[in-house]
Amino acid sequence: MTDTKTKQLNIISYNLKYHRANRELAGLCEGYDADILCLQECFAGSLPKTISHMVLADKTKTGRFNLAIYIRPERFKSIVTESHALEKSLVEKMYMPQTERLLVSKLHDLQSKQEIIVGSFHATHHIASNYLRRKQIQSAHDKLSKLCGQNPAIMVGDYNYLLFKKRLRVFIENSGYQMNRSDLPTYYFHKMFKMHFDLTTSVNAQIKRVCTLPRGLSDHSPILVQALI
């Protein structure tokens, strides 16, 4: 990538808590000049084709916890989108066999004249093990890497990783990816227990900043990822 072609990219990621926070999306996209919007825990059947200046690239259609990706159409052209179930916990095998944990879109950036891979990711529930979540993250990265080649790949979402994030960072960096967490916690069990559940992992991209946006109707705060690609 040359300096003359390097462009800033604004990605918002938001876990809507069973679609509860959907009414906030237009304001977020407009207020933070979003180029890409990645959603978790949305209801596929209730998603509009457009949100403010964004258009729906694709969404998952099975399971209880749907994922979606919206893009700015004057900047991006969608090439292909894939959804993947990834590894499952015992509870998911019994009660949520069709749950998809990754939605990934290959986009052509009309400004930087290159392809970029963007993933919306939702790791398994809190009662599962960190080992399972690491397997899901590795599988998701493998899916992104098959599409990106030497192009940028950025995955955002709810990683549901409660403890031992230093170990997670080492695991991710050993696989060739970079992990960035936001400046403030994104999930609140109560006033005294705050966690960074919403993260970004990337390869071939320079992450300038990840910030936690004001909390709304969800139990998660949205995050804004600013990257150079």
Residue 3 lies in a domain: no
Residue 104 lies in a domain: yes
Residue 161 lies in a domain: yes
Residue 1 lies in a domain: no
Q: Give 69-111 pLDDT, tens digit per residue.
A: 999 999 999 999 999 999 988 777 777 767 899 999 999 999 9
DSSP string of 140-198? HHHHHHHHHTTS-EEEEEE----S-HHHHHHHHHHTT-EEEE-SS--EEEETTEEE--E
Residue 155 lies in domain: 8-228
Count of domains for the chain: 1
Give the pLDDT mean for 46-56.
98
Residue 206 lies in a domain: yes
Q: Give 188-221 pLDDT, tens digit per residue.
A: 876 667 889 999 999 999 999 999 999 999 999 9
Q: Give 133-189 pLDDT, tens digit per residue.
A: 999 999 999 999 999 999 999 999 999 998 788 899 999 999 999 999 999 999 987
Domain CATH number, residue 53: 3.60.10.10
Residue 20 lies in a domain: yes
Strands 187-190 and 178-181: unpaired
Residue 2 lies in a domain: no
What is this structure's pTM?
A: 0.94
Residue 88 lies in a domain: yes
